[in-house]
Structure 1
């Protein structure tokens, strides 16, 4: 794809969606769902009051805290489960039992444990991020071809050298994939958590605008801001995949 196409095609698609949006509002005659210009005015109103920046900051801080905790705990555990079969047989059934439970199902427990505040939201984001990171890391280590291990041993590598120079580089694509999946889920969960457990953030903005004054222009503005930040986060993690490919010699199409 040519460089200009990477920009022009998404912009063209966005213009089409906005046109459909405007047409749908006019054809339906709705007085509830706002036109794009009202959403833009609402966004400017929030920015002028200084609310938008603080809400974005609060949401990103919660995601960052929960995601970092999941990364610090999940990658070492995933490596251990992938490296040691006995550890996998011991802990994998428990992980697979807890993994399908929606993080939102933990909201009542998180409020009981931590109360209404940032800690409850961070706990939910941690849970949402932890399991994708653990499972992808574990699978990445387990799927390293046995010939890679044997070749490293034949070259006289110690266990630490084998991990650092063979297993970790080979498992890194799966690990980065887990990080990308976890980040997307974390961003989804923080919005839901903020609607219930805290009094700031983009999720709180949406529910407060709906309940306080039926300001659907602010509701849609919050939704669009969530989508734009999610796109930026996903783009950043995809850049990380590119750096990984360059560093370790993998080609990523």
Structure 2
């Protein structure tokens, strides 16, 4: 029976239960500073009226966009290179594994020292948070390309550059999109923490400023709601991109046969 229900029914029911539970907890609880859902709605209206809602949301999106874009431009080619070249992976892999466990927020003092308090510091912190996951995603994607497809490409006389462009990259794209979606969630979390320490605008700054300016917990929770809504929207956008026909295909990884690779490479060689 649940299969015949509209898609919004179950999520709507869950959200309704959560809001009712929240209201009851505030009403019967012993936390007078905890705002009710209606107070948060009023706070959101206040933020929209004075322009902070749009201004701070745009500021956070600006920093996430630039930090993630820089990571995509640098980390993905770097990861593809490491995945393709075993020698490069042996040489640079230990340094990468040394840097990966370091929290991106640990770079905050150095970011402020190098770039000062402002957008550049936050963008650098986001870049450091996104760099490692994207490199590993690209590296693993190259390593999972079936060898039969690479051999078929070589049999057709493809050069190394053509093999990378026409076989490896198309095979890795679906995995890169999945990794990019996960990395975007990381970037959106990191920007909030970075804005609490390195800048004076954005949704993270809104939460910190509301807490310090008279314990405005209605604005604090309103900022949290905004962060969740924007993150939900960004995730939904990447979900749509993943389902695009030109990007959702991938080479099979289990028991690959040469026939699909040969047919594909014939089209690639003679478009």
Task: Name the TM tier (shorter chain).
Answer: over 0.9
Rounded to whole Å, the distance in 1 between the matches of 2:7 and 2:91 is 47
Q: Where does residue 126 of structure 1 map in the other structure?
A: 127
Deviation at 1:135, TM superposition (A): 0.6
Rounded to whole Å, the distance in 1 between the matches of 2:104 and 2:245 is 30
Question: Deviation above 6 Å: which 4+ runs of structure 1?
Answer: none
Q: Where does residue 232 of structure 2 map in the other structure?
A: 231
Rounded to whole Å, the distance in 2 between the matches of 1:4 and 1:107 is 48
Q: 1:120 to 1:138 in 2, by over 3 A?
A: same
Asked whether the 8 Å contact 2:171–2:250 carries over to 1, the reply is no
TM-score by length of 1: 0.94
**1:97-116, aligned counterparts within 5 Å?**
97-116=98-117
Q: Where does residue 53 of structure 2 map in the other structure?
A: 52
Asked whether the 8 Å contact 2:203–2:223 carries over to 1, the reply is yes
Rounded to whole Å, the distance in 2 between the matches of 1:209 and 1:131 is 33
Identify unmatched segments of 5+ residues in structure 1.
Answer: none
Rounded to whole Å, the distance in 1 between the matches of 2:59 and 2:34 is 27
Deviation at 1:161, TM superposition (A): 2.2
Q: 1:15 to 1:63 in 2, by over 3 A?
A: same
Asked whether the 8 Å contact 2:173–2:250 carries over to 1, the reply is no
Looking at CA atoms only, which structure, 1 or 2, has the larger radius of gyration? Answer: 2
Asked whether the 8 Å contact 2:79–2:135 carries over to 1, the reply is yes
Task: Give RMSD over aligned pairs.
Answer: 1.7
Q: Where does residue 29 of structure 2 map in the other structure?
A: 28
**1:146-185, aligned counterparts within 5 Å?**
146-185=147-186
For the residue of structure 2 that corresponds to 1:34, the secondary structure is coil
Asked whether the 8 Å contact 1:244–1:250 carries over to 2, the reply is no
Identify unmatched segments of 5+ residues in structure 2.
Answer: 253-271
TM-score by length of 2: 0.88
1:152-185 CA distance string (max 9 Å, x none) = 1112222222122211111122211221121111
Rounded to whole Å, the distance in 2 between the matches of 1:19 and 1:194 is 31
Asked whether the 8 Å contact 1:149–1:166 carries over to 2, the reply is yes
Rounded to whole Å, the distance in 2 between the matches of 1:90 and 1:244 is 38
Asked whether the 8 Å contact 2:60–2:203 carries over to 1, the reply is yes
- Residue 241 in 1 paired to residue 242 in 2? yes
Rounded to whole Å, the distance in 1 between the matches of 2:156 and 2:121 is 49
Q: Where does residue 141 of structure 1 map in the other structure?
A: 142
Q: 1:109 to 1:168 in 2, by over 3 A?
A: same
